[in-house]
A and B are shown apart, each in its own frame.
Chain A
Amino acid sequence: MKNLSYIKAEIERILIKYFSRTRSPEEAESNINRVIQYSKVFGFLLSFPLIVIAVFKLLMILTPSLQNGMAGLSAGRISDSIPESLNNDPSRSLKTAENRIKNLEKAFSRYKNSQPYLVVNTTKNEFILHNRGIIVREGMCSTGSYILLDAGDEKKWKFETPKGLFRVQGKTESPVWKKPDWAFVEEGLPVPPSYSRLRYEYGVLGDYALSIGNGYLIHGTLYKRLLGMPVTHGCIRMDDEDLKAVFNTLRVGSKVYIY
């Protein structure tokens, strides 16, 4: 309170000093009074919205930590529960729990894959080839570029490698690429009929190709310097040696995990 009156007096002193410099004493005093009156009124009018805003902001900031703090209060209230058997026969109860866990682990191990499978990471453009539970090869690959090719007339193609679990549906040596429509659209060429010879290109997919469904292939590439980058139209491109290892390890029906 003492400080407040000191500040008030100090402001008054500064105002008097300022107004006395330029005007007559009477005029200066009247101006000072007006300034004081104005500041009182507008201070009064502005203080409430300012308080409201400050309170809102403070509540918003404090909400998560206060809610977290409140959690301690409710902890005891959430219905308390305990395995019934733990009270009656504790050692037996623990043994039963251990047995249940063993059974669950057994059930879980059925999912473990001893068969060969391939894992492809589309964010890092890397692959890992597994066989009999161990990693047999890992390296770089290229996956979908995420380019959306817009040809107007509602014709759009998104070059994205699908994610999830796939199975090898077919294996081909010396594959021939049958160019889809987008390959012509992308190059600004007229799209030939589906039986046209123009659609077939030889040697661009490398020595092997593994189909994983919906037209997506794991194949080789002529653009080896782009391996490790997302540049394909959705297929998975690999280096010749890596592709050979994948082709020889995976069988039709083998799993391919893409994420």
Chain B
Amino acid sequence: MKQTLDKIVNHFTENMGRYSVAYKWLVLLLSIFIIYYILIIMVLPVVNYRYIIPEEKPGRSKIYKHDFASYYSVDDSLLTESLVLANKEAFLLAGLEMAKDETIGLAIDLSDSTVSLMIQGISIHTSRITGYKCSRILLKSDPFLTTEYFSWPFVVKDYLSSVPKVPVIVKKAPKDSIEAASLPDPGQLEESQLYVSFQFKLDRKLNLKFEQDSISDQIKRKSIRKYRHQKKKEKKKLIRNAFIRAGEYEYTPEIRIKLNRDDALILFRAIPENAKVTVRLNPEY
């Protein structure tokens, strides 16, 4: 073993010059890789990001005129007023579309700091948002186009969560009445120790992240770590795919919302598959 090590060391010492050159090349390659990464993961997807306005949206291309110069010719106060109205109109339009469904939907009003569960235009549960954060692209983009983007409901396509969606407890059926009498009560899942955080992946490139606003001592750190690990895995997968199929990586802006733990759990459990979601941004944010 020692001899082999000595051999390796001697070999490297003798050829140090050659290896140094190779090392420099590797560092150069790494730098190229970093530049490539920054370009395809950080710059291009964000710069090429476009709002997706669904085809079925009535008056999709008629509402707004695309005219860069005119943007600056309007008085500031008028522009603000017009924006507030456009924002409200967009939220109502999306809400009306969502109300056509008989399933539970989610209405997020960041202007009002509320999240509501809606069925057919009726609010059945409202929670107060204790904090939120939006990706800058949603706030810095053309505000009229942003309102058009939000004037049609989104659809929940997938989710990721720290708590089970359906807290099922499996109970084996007893063989006879004697066994039934001796079987302990399966009770309920102990959920008070679980950290509540979840993420809805919506169609039209938008992610909604919800998390409880405070972490009490009761919450098991393990449940937080497990969820974070899950998210990390997801992110790694995305980045790996971006390298394999360069250019296919899509930037997805997100809205991060903090809620009271109970409310967060209620919302998560209530939202069905393919639920519709409407969002109203705060124009003064």
Contacts and interface: CB of A to CB of B under 8 A. Distances in A.
Partners in one complex: yes
Contact of A259 (B30, B49, B88, B117): B117
Contacts of B26: 48
B32 interface: no
A60 B239 contact: yes
Contacts of A257: 119, 122, 124
Interface string A171-208: 00000000000000111110000000000000000000
Contacts of B68: 80
A83 B186 CA distance: 61
A232 to B, nearest CB: 12
A74 interface: yes
Interface string B101-136: 011100000000000010111101100000000011
A229 B188 contact: yes
B279 interface: no
Interface string A58-89: 01100100111111111101111111101100
A147 B186 contact: yes
B interface residue count range (under 10 / 10 to 19 / 20 to 34 / 35 or more): 35 or more
Interface string A95-131: 0011011001101101111000101011110000000
Interface in B1-47: 5, 8-9, 12-13, 16, 19, 23, 26-27, 30, 34, 37-38, 41-43, 45-47
Contacts of B272: 163-164
A124 B136 contact: no
B121 A111 contact: yes
B104 A98 contact: no
Contacts of A52: 30
B172 interface: yes
A interface residue count range (under 10 / 10 to 19 / 20 to 34 / 35 or more): 35 or more
A230 interface: yes
B175 A101 contact: no
Given A55-B30, A82-B71, A257-B124, A71 B46 contact: yes
A164 B47 contact: no
DSSP class of B's interface residues: helix, strand, loop or mixed?
helix
Given A67-B42, A94-B78, A259-B117, A83 B169 contact: no
A70 B46 contact: yes
Contacts of B176: 188-189
Interface string B74-90: 11001101100110110
B237 to A, nearest CB: 12
A245 interface: no
B142 A78 contact: yes
A119 B12 CA distance: 76
Contacts of A71: 46, 135-137, 140-141, 253
Contact of A68 (B93, B104, B136): B136
Given A75-B140, A79-B142, A90-B75, 7 more contacts: A60-B239, A81-B144, A82-B67, A82-B71, A108-B92, A148-B168, A148-B170
Interface of A: 34, 37-38, 40-41, 44-45, 48, 51-52, 55, 59-60, 63, 66-75, 77-84, 86-87, 90, 93-94, 97-98, 100-101, 104-105, 107-108, 110-113, 117, 119, 121-124, 145-152, 155, 158, 160, 163-165, 185-189, 229-230, 257, 259
5 contacts: A75-B140, A75-B142, A86-B74, A98-B85, A148-B170
